[in-house]
Amino acid sequence: MGGTPTLLSTVSVFVKEDDELPLKTIAISGECMTEAAAKKIQKAFNKAKIYSVYVLTEASPRVSYLPPDLFLKHPTSVGIPLKSVRMKIVDECDNELPDNEVGELLVMGDNVMIGYYCDNAKTYKAKRNGWLHTGDLAYKDKNGLYYIKGRKVKSILTKATSTVQAFPQERR
């Protein structure tokens, strides 16, 4: 089963402790995970292997994964790159940053797109020297685990006249 943290933590409310669910594997992606959501999901689906994954359409789509045994130890991490993928964090000048410094996440691998169809300008902006500029702000810890912190651009153009906030503030 796949879903976002919001979807799975919402569904987990309806799972009873004695429910025997047939789920063997869960893949979570699509938004940043919180520790609270991870605990709810783990408690509800305690017999399933839970992977937190980082995906992009431009990377066909999976880039990294957090193994199930690390899910509760590092619940906000998207894990390590797939074997065929390279990842790095850079500053505004594309200089690689040291561990624990937030910058833009870049991805390279055979799974990364060649370019945007009939849009060389957009392709050049997104992909340079073989590296896909994801637009995601992230950091890597000393263990090599990656964490997504937000978007470089705070809104996404959906039509000529409207935008959507990429990471809207939660209201309590």
pLDDT at 172: 43
- Asked if residue 163 is part of any domain, the answer here is no
pLDDT at residue 56 tops 60: yes
Closest CA to 147 of 76, 90, 96, 64: 76
Which three-class secondary structure state does DSSP give residue 172? coil
Taking only the tens place, the pLDDT of each residue in 9-44 is 999 999 998 888 899 999 999 999 999 999 999 999
Please, are residues 40 and 65 in contact by the beta-carbon 8 Å criterion? no
Question: Count of domains in the chain?
Answer: 1
Assign residue 105 the CATH number of its domain. Answer: 3.40.50.12780
- Asked if residue 11 is part of any domain, the answer here is yes
Q: Which is higher by pLDDT, 2 or 168?
A: 2
- Asked if residue 160 is part of any domain, the answer here is no
Taking only the tens place, the pLDDT of each residue in 61-91 is 999 999 999 999 999 999 999 999 999 999 9
Residue pointed to by tokens 């997504």: 148
Cα 30 to Cα 43, 99, 142, 150: the distances in Å are 21, 24, 24, 12
Which three-class secondary structure state does DSSP give residue 59? helix
DSSP letter for 169, please. P
Dihedral over Cα of 127, 132, 138, 144: its sign: negative
Phi/psi for 106 (5° steps) reads -115, 145
- Asked if residue 162 is part of any domain, the answer here is no
Residues 6+ apart with CB under 8 A from 43: 12
Alpha-carbon distance of 126 to 108, in angstroms, equals 12
Tell me the two tokens of residue 5. 């943290």
| Low-confidence winner among 56-60, 87-91, 144-148, 164-168 (lowest mean pLDDT) | 164-168
Domain that holds residue 114: 2-155
Taking only the tens place, the pLDDT of each residue in 111-160 is 999 999 999 999 999 999 999 999 999 999 999 999 999 998 765 555 55
